[in-house]
Chains A and B, each alone.
Chain A
Amino acid sequence: MALKAETHPIATSNDVVRVRQIVRAATIQLKFSLVEQTKFVTATSELARNTLEHGGGGWMTLEMVKNGLREGIKLTFRDNGPGIADIELALSEGYTSAGGMGLGLSGSKRLVNEFEITSELGQGTTVIVTRWK
């Protein structure tokens, strides 16, 4: 069940910083512990930068979700970029297409509770992550 949803554009590297701050504010609102906050904000940073650098910019939708008594934050990163040809390869550790460390996608998967990625060539990529309190 989604309680609140808002969408923010990711078009410049300043936007990456901005969505990070927005997500940090949301984790504080849900009283995440400091470690949980840091993990989720770092995952946000990775995914937002992927959206910017590989997807050529896009949007992040932040939703406050509730499952019974559990509260959480669900983030959807969406872009209209070239898409990912081989998702398994992209998720494997150390693989990079942009001269990075190749840990962004695989690492952020470990930093969240739920991770879902869909991509279509030429259509863009959507990554949905959720972290429960």
Chain B
Amino acid sequence: MSVFHQVVKANESAILVGWLKQMSASTRRGDLINDVDLKEQASEFLKLFTEACQKSSDVQSEAFASTQEFLAEIAKSRLEQGFSTSETAMFVLSLKQPIFSAIRDAFKANPSELVSEIWASGDLLDQLAMLTIDSAITIRELTISRQQEEMLELSTPVVKLWDGILALPLIGTLDSARTQVVMESLLSAIVETNSQIAIIDITGVPTVDTLVAQHLIKTITAARLMGADCYLSGIRPAIAQTIVHLGIELIDVQTKAKLSDAFALALQRLGKAVVTTKPSATSPAQGRNRVA
């Protein structure tokens, strides 16, 4: 069992000063965290670390639980403050230098013990730094998966264009999960708004392959089963040629190049028309300008 923790305990204040100095030299980000907070965190960690070292030299053991917890907390707050992952890890790693010099002073007379103590403490600090990185990455991953879920929700809005006419502008990649959400939100919107016509616009879908086409056809068929007509719009020239070459048949589906064309068709189908009338009186803002 190594004894470097005794050295650390005996020289705690000196190490703390050295550590803060080391941090300000290598990673200290004055713009992101202030001196008082940093000093508080540093002395708290040093206390937990020496306590844990007295009991065990295994980072995964029970003795290090509070140290691990503290580091996870540090990783979380650092990420929120805008530190990079390596800067977060440096919080632990920059402790090496002051501890090493304290050990060096304590074991001057005994080189072999000096090396083994330095190795033991260095190894521990490396592992703790890894743990910090791990928790930082876990936090990032959680953020990413949450964002993915949010995007799924955000990217499938059903909008009402007119009484009885719905539009579903699709943007991005249509995978199975997306299609499921799209289908559900479209079908429930058809019921809620009592719509006869739904327009699916694929202007924002970069690639239409057989899987996307199949998903679209399924959605359109489902809408039809509910008594609503479905138009497909936003088919760009390049996509049209690709669909033909792929051999996908969209004969049963009413398609239009532009959303406005599909909307016009929908209005026509419902017996409505957009007519040009005389422009209404000038708006208040323009009116004021004229007076001035």
A residues at B contact (CB < 8 Å): 13, 17, 20, 24, 34-35, 37-39, 41-42, 45-46, 49, 93, 100-101, 103-104, 106-108, 110-111
Dominant secondary structure at the B interface: helix
Known: A93-B247, A100-B214. A45 touches B238 (CB 8 A): no
Contact-size category for B: 20 to 34
Q: Which of B81-89, B123-131, B204-212 contacts A (4 or more CB under 8 A)?
A: B204-212
Q: Which B residues lie within 8 Å of A100 (CB)? A: 210-211, 214
Known: A41-B207, A101-B214. A107 touches B239 (CB 8 A): no
Query: How far does the alpha carbon of A47 sit from the alpha carbon of B246 in the complex, in Å?
Result: 12
- Between-chain CB contacts (< 8 Å), 23 pairs: A17-B173, A20-B207, A24-B206, A34-B237, A35-B241, A38-B207, A38-B242, A39-B241, A39-B242, A41-B207, A45-B207, A45-B209, A45-B211, A46-B246, A100-B211, A100-B214, A101-B214, A103-B247, A103-B248, A107-B210, A107-B245, A108-B246, A110-B246
| Closest CB in chain B relative to A129 CB, distance in Å | 13
| Closest CB in chain A relative to B152 CB, distance in Å | 13
Q: Which A residues lie within 8 Å of B176 (CB)? A: 13
| Closest CB in chain B relative to A54 CB, distance in Å | 13
Dominant secondary structure at the A interface: helix
Q: Which B residues lie within 8 Å of A108 (CB)? A: 246
B149 within 8 A of A: no
Q: Which B residues lie within 8 Å of A24 (CB)? A: 206
| Closest CB in chain A relative to B250 CB, distance in Å | 11
Which of B208, B209, B245 gathers the greatest number of chain A CB atoms within 10 Å?
A: B209
Query: How far does the alpha carbon of A38 sit from the alpha carbon of B246 in the complex, in Å?
Result: 12
| Closest CB in chain A relative to B245 CB, distance in Å | 5
B175 within 8 A of A: yes
